Structure 1
């Protein structure tokens, strides 16, 4: 058996993003290999989908740890992918630091998906090595500005393949348009949520190199919501310390690994200091408040400009918006799913 496509998953949402592509590969009879790393709930989510995968490496929160772990992962992936039966015709990833370096070293054509133009360290390590770069239009526009202003040349801006949407459209479609992995209609029951009350989902700030040292606004938001709105609060921390802080509040739910896309589907509002869950909720038409503490990414600016999401870090504005808009369902975003574009480029690379 030969391998057609290698997909590397390095962050929890990546399995949602690539699920539609994997289904298409299976439908077309193409052989693929999935690799992953130990990071947050990624492996548990892959298991929800039931895909076979091989895990290499893990995340670190320190600079030295990141360097050591990434170096080791490159070596492990190189040994695995260079096996005769595993060598793919094309490699695909979203923000994986290791796949572009391994594929470049082994002369394997690569397709890379990018939606965070501010991840400077990762972008320097990856973008100059990839063959095809796919970005949401909002990311492409911001990347162009960054390269001009900072005199950086990650990638020829004119060669970037862009699409009119965000990557989260593929995340949502992986469930809403899939017969194999449909939305879980029992998710609220499984979490013990009172269906007579509206449900608000909250997500803390990323624990990433580009968003460190920022004050966590969620405790104050939780306190205000508990005081002013009768609702279910489902809170997703990223660190053990955050989980301990949030656990002191009564009447909130702090899940472990769950089917968050199904939860969002039945939720009435999303408030997040991160990115992916905000964008997923916004694409679904759920009133969404981003309290991301840094400059907004191009994809978030794109959604706010189109009216799918609002952004503020002002506590009173967040609470006022929540009180006014909770349960006011917006239209599902009519945006492009990049799956077909990825599949098209895979086929082109394989035919060469």
Structure 2
């Protein structure tokens, strides 16, 4: 069978990596498209996958995104119409369900962000919707996810692609002495983000003379900002860093939102979220159960306290176990969707 997957942002590449490898080994083939946003193209190249770039990121603002939406769908339809695709799968790609519907292709859609407006058309046109167990049901229903085609998977989405890495990362950390604070700035161009930009600047300037810091920027504008002379001493890589290396060397992770913050919490790494907006259901679950801390007004004393904390971190074994269950649920759903239709 031939499966189409559309990537519109970086985390979706990781989400589908194990699924693509497994289904490819079973004889299935893939058509991969992506939007040129954040580090998506760079990461896809690192995977050595064949893919086609269709469109760039939409500028921030609802009007700009509404204009860009039909434009990219038209380009996707024109590219895919003669590819003989059997079914489509997307994680957060709002474009995929409608494109698939126009082409007469059955589709699966999943997202863990209940604040994303793009869920409304995606839920409407997808044939099957799969959401994390902590996704607020009232939000799903309000956005048009009908009970008939909606199901839920255990845990958080990051567990789906990281469950195999859990024991490996634990072993790597036992053999090393983590010493670097990794910091991920805010998703300033995301439609759902309404917080402040560059709000970590003062904290970074205060910390840089006391700790080894690596800043994991999201895009070129952030890279340009944080490579200015006043931030000298902070490492700002211009390429995507290997996940295993980050997890092995990470003394503390500070994230202003997004999948990477949850990834580190899932791995049992001391993690602080400084996200400025309304928290997702999955983040509230991680915070309530001790997997990460939420400190939107983070200061240097908080950093010092977290590093010197003596209490044991909450074990992430349950999240890893749920991730494995969710992975096989998705693999079965991808194959079964085409068979049922």
Shorter-normalised TM range: 0.7 to 0.9
Answering whether residue 217 of structure 2 is matched by residue 237 of structure 1, we say yes
| 8 Å CA contact retained: 1:282, 1:309 | yes
Q: Aligned residue for 2:328? A: 340
| 8 Å CA contact retained: 2:123, 2:143 | no
| 8 Å CA contact retained: 1:17, 1:174 | no
Answering whether residue 129 of structure 2 is matched by residue 145 of structure 1, we say no
Equivalent residue in structure 2 for 1:117, among 103, 110, 114: 114
Answering whether residue 233 of structure 2 is matched by residue 251 of structure 1, we say yes
Q: Distance in 2 between matches of 1:13 and 1:92?
A: 15
Kindly report the root-mean-square deviation, in angstroms, between the aligned alpha carbons of the 2 structures.
2.7
User: Matched residue of 2:31: which SS?
Assistant: strand
| 8 Å CA contact retained: 2:127, 2:149 | no
Equivalent residue in structure 2 for 1:295, among 268, 278, 285: 278
TM-score w.r.t. length of structure 2 = 0.86
| 8 Å CA contact retained: 1:224, 1:319 | no
Unaligned residue ranges in structure 1 (runs of 5+)? 186-194
CA positional deviation for 1:322: 3.2
Q: Distance in 2 between matches of 1:177 and 1:132?
A: 32
User: Matched residue of 1:315: which SS?
Assistant: coil
Q: Aligned residue for 2:29? A: 31
CA positional deviation for 1:319: 2.6
Q: Aligned residue for 1:217? A: 199
Q: Aligned residue for 1:98? A: 95
Q: Distance in 2 between matches of 1:47 and 1:174?
A: 23
1:5-154 equivalences under 5 Å are 5-63=3-61, 64-83=63-82, 86-119=83-116, 121-139=117-135, 142=136, 144-146=137-139, 152-154=142-144
Q: Distance in 2 between matches of 1:254 and 1:138?
A: 34
